[in-house]
Structure 1
């Protein structure tokens, strides 16, 4: 078997393990899922699992990082290249687009299930909080900081404290994720509309624009 075939087979095996672990973690919870159950679900040997992962915790981190964090660092970098902050309307448009992508990720069903699992089990397994925090919200916040650092290069944007500016924007969006997502009993979609996101961004804009430039509302003709 050549190297390409071996590499392809290894990726396939690893993906089988990830998909099996993801399914069981979200259905049963982290504590109630055993390596043996993951092995059985993935149809691989326990030795195969341990050839990729040292522990169940390592496997969970990989599930979170690669299976659930759809807005990856690479995807974020690609998006940032396309965003324009030349004028206040461009700043608004870019923040709306970025916020839409961020919320689409955080409101996905698997993310909400995972967040509920962490909340339910974090007292018994404190390590879960660190795994979840490092793989999802911290990385998300870092990506927003990158967004605002790029925006800050524009003459129409002035941000003295990138971290606080990032937390202010993310904090507003996350209230919707937790109140209308994680803590909601609804099984349907509670995603924000484009108009709601635009209104959030317009509320936020005065805190970062160098001068308060009037951005004409859609439909205004005056």
Structure 2
């Protein structure tokens, strides 16, 4: 994130003002971005409890009333930081899934899932993601709204993105699953769940070992998602899905 938020710089930055005395729209956007970036670095460096709005305001070179007016309190500021970080973690998954939607149909389902899983490992198991996961877990006991934000902005959106990708694979005949939402939940759990938990516990990410585990997990997932051996078919041979008779 490229900021040294722990060292405050003297003085306040001049903010261009409109004729009404308020900051211009571009200046307000720049100020908000600076506030979030500084707060992100402070939360990562110091943790939630040790980060104060005074420290954020001083490091971002804005007044404390400005922080209160924009975010209400520390919970509001942390929620804004968390929302942005989750969006950053999900962006590679959405991009990888979108790429796969336009990939040639003759690429195997396993290779497609490996490509998506690799992006997930890199971004959701990194040190920043693990640090925020620890803070989210610790603070959700007292502030359940953080848990709700993590579920709605993070988990549910990741599941929805993966489910849409699975819908595409099902339509191509590359997967045979009845409920792509449940399949997406299982996939996310088996592919990155364990590695993300270990990262949250402070274990360093060994990318080669994590990718080896990911590939094995994907093969296990596909063993069920492809259906019985007699019904498995290549992605280049789409067929009409069969439903059990009622």
TM-score for both structures, normalised by structure 1: 0.79
Match of 1:46 in 2: 64
Query: What is the correspondence of 1:1-222 to structure 2 with a 5 Å cutoff?
Result: 6-72=24-90, 76-83=93-100, 84=103, 86-87=105-106, 89-172=107-190, 173-178=192-197, 180-184=198-202, 186=203, 188-191=204-207, 192-209=209-226, 211-212=231-232
CA distance in 2, matches of 1:203, 1:189: 22
Q: Distance in 1 between matches of 2:45 and 2:119?
A: 26
Structure 1 Cα separation of the partners of residues 95 and 196 of structure 2: 24
Contact 1:17 1:39 in 2 (8 A): yes
Aligned-pair distance for 1:18? Answer: 0.6
Q: 1:58: Cα distance to partner?
A: 2.8
Aligned-partner SS, 2:141: coil
Q: Deviations over 1:121-167 (max 9, x none)?
A: 33233332223333322322222222212222212322201121111
TM-score by length of 2: 0.72
Q: Computing the radius of gyration over CA atoms, which structure comes out larger, 1 or 2? A: 2
Quick one: structure 1 residues 7 and 90, their matched pair in 2 at CA, closer, same or farther if it must change by over 3 Å? farther
- Structure 2 unaligned runs (5+)? 1-15, 235-246
Computed over aligned residues only, the root mean square deviation of the Cα atoms, in angstroms, reads 2.8
Residue 7 of structure 1 deviates from its aligned partner by 4.1
Q: After alignment, is 122-131 or 146-155 more displaced?
A: 122-131
Bigger shift: residues 9-18 or 191-200: 191-200
Aligned residues: 209
Aligned 8 A contact 1:85 1:154 in 2 = no
Q: Which structure exhibits the higher relative contact order, with contacts defined as CA atoms closer than 8 Å and separated by 6 or more residues?
A: 1
Gaps of 5+ in 1: 215-222
Task: Find the counterpart in structure 2 of residue 219 from structure 1.
Answer: none
In the aligned structure 2, how far is the partner of 1:112 from the partner of 1:2? 39
